[in-house]
Structure 1
């Protein structure tokens, strides 16, 4: 009886395994679509903001016929949809591929602008979405890559419709990078590392001469020289601060009317 029971149990297990293997596999509905159909569905996904599907369909379209009628548009749309879907690495890879393959494409200015946007971080509020994030959490390398891409748009394609916005974002990036250095300088100052604070402030002044954050860099330098008992250097720095920012509250001792504290709140 035991052998019979064991045999029946094994037979039941084999039947279950066989049944599982017999289940129909999920098919890819796009496999039977024509390229025109796939392109239409990809465009619909793009128009509807279904970014994951949009990127998937355009990738499939490019893979089917990399040198065909839809290939170039598919490549740039993969980059855009991946970026909107939060897949920055995939987006950057796709736009780089487009730039390398089609350097003379009519939309090459847009490709560089899109590359700049992929690396651009607007969480710090260029267009009114400022929410007080700590600049030390941002990625200066990504901001520099964004700046370089926007610079290509401004320098090589100044008449493109993307140039004015690219120029504005470049100005923001310069101050963001300067602010990153100033934030580091303030970090060192608050911990009593005055020489390190001076070095970081000087780096900001040297690399980002016209950035508004330079006002704070000079102030940190002045305070650090005072802490190091270097009154002459502190006075020299204050004269530079007064000459460059005559209305600075660090010089006048009075806050500007309607002025708000900087995000790092010295």
Structure 2
């Protein structure tokens, strides 16, 4: 019997290709393999670039990256230094610089993790005050995302968990290390954060006031005055109390609040009937208008 499938070899296998086609295919394989090996070689070269190098040399390389603003490269080199040399003054400084590079790169969670590790390991180190300060900066910036910058969203109207942690960090610097070079700036940042917390309470009070929840509005304004005395929003809180008491028909308390406001800020717009300036309904429906608070002047 004659079999019609005399050969089982596919027609398009390399063995059946013309000689010049086989040569071209071989060259392509060599080129692809060569480029792949080059990539892997570069990867291992980069990985082992600092292997066995003196600690001073690795630190200098990382510091050059910091100077050039290459935070990712700096972080990588500092981490390699710590991995190879887990003890010593260069290691301690590398841990500090790692946290700073992460903070500058916007990797706030990583920065806080590095800072916490340093504080646990070196609680009495000369740079511990700076690490608390840097943790405050990282917590202050942790929720500052692109959309908040692009759309001018008010941080006081957002969750205040991380700003509160930042306030606690700056408080540690100011109270435990009052003579450190970071204490004065930490105190200034605490003032700014207190004003933000006060504005948060005021925004809530005005929300209640606009919806006719006048008792809640007055209570929230009173809470602001008691919790954040001398904040930049204290006169607005008094004005809120005056408006809420007037709406409740309590003329005595309304007159008292108005009198205090006249003494402390005679030019406050509430006294001229121009406050609070709530945003229009049209603005709230316009997705491109950005946020506007009743406290904004524009």
Q: In terms of mean alpha carbon deviation, does 189-198 or 93-102 score higher?
A: 189-198
Structure 1 residue 251: Cα displacement: 6.9
Deviation at 1:178, TM superposition (A): 0.5
Question: Displacement, 1:227?
Answer: 1.9
Are 2:59 and 1:29 aligned? no
- Are 1:219 and 1:250, in contact at CA under 8 Å, matched by a contact in 2? no
Q: Distance in 2 between matches of 1:154 and 1:47?
A: 29
| Residues 137 and 178 (structure 1), Cα distance of their counterparts in 2 relative to 1, 3 Å cut | closer
1:4 maps to: 9
**Matched residues in 1 for 2:232 and 2:136: separation?**
22
1:67-86 to 2 correspondence within 5 Å?
67-86=87-106
- The SS at the match of 2:123 is coil
**Structure 1 residues 43 and 253, CA gap change in structure 2 (3 angstroms):** same
- Separation in structure 1 between the aligned mates of residue 12 and residue 223 of structure 2, nearest angstrom: 80
> Which of the numbers 133, 136, 139 marks the counterpart of 1:113?
133
Query: Pairwise mapping of residues 41-60 of structure 1 onto structure 2 (< 5 A)?
Result: 41-60=61-80
Gaps of 5+ in 2: 15-21, 23-27, 275-292
Instruction: Give the equivalent residue in structure 1 for 2:60.
Output: 40
CA contact (8 A) 2:156 2:197 kept: no
Answer whether contact 1:95 1:111 (CA < 8 A) is retained: yes
Match of residue 264 from structure 1 = 295
Q: What residue is the counterpart of 1:140 in the other structure?
A: 160
Calculate the aligned-residue CA RMSD, in Å.
Answer: 3.6
Offset at residue 250 of structure 1 (A)? 4.9
Question: Are 2:169 and 1:149 aligned?
Answer: yes
State the TM-score, normalizing by the size of structure 1: 0.79
**1:79-107, CA deviations, whole angstroms, 9 ceiling, x for partnerless residues?**
11101001111111111211121111112
| Residue of structure 2 in register with 1:247 after alignment | 266
Q: Which residue of 2 aligns with 1:66?
A: 86
Instruction: Find the residue that maps to 2:179 and give its secondary structure.
Output: coil
Query: What is the alpha-carbon distance in structure 2 between the residues aligned to residue 4 and residue 161 of structure 1?
Result: 81
Question: 2:237 & 2:76 partners in 1: Cα distance?
Answer: 47
TM-score for both structures, normalised by structure 2: 0.72
User: Counterparts of 1:179-190 in structure 2 under 5 Å?
Assistant: 179-190=199-210
Greater Rg over alpha carbons, structure: 2
The question of whether the paired residues in 1 share the 8 Å contact of 2:139 and 2:163 is answered with: yes
Q: What is the CA–CA distance in structure 2 between the aligned matches of 1:161 and 1:44, rounded to whole Å?
A: 25
Contact 1:153/1:166 (<8 A) preserved:
yes
CA shift for structure 1 position 122: 11
Task: Identify the range of structure 1 (217-226 vs 44-53) with the bigger mean alpha-carbon deviation.
Answer: 217-226
* Of 58-67 and 41-50, the range deviating more from structure 2: 58-67
Give the superposition deviation at 1:28.
4.2
Q: Give the whole-Å Cα distance in 2 for the aligned partners of 1:68 and 1:122.
A: 31
C-alpha distance 47-142 of structure 1, shift in aligned 2 (>3 A)? same
* Cα deviation, residue 7, structure 1: 7.9
State how many pairs are aligned: 252
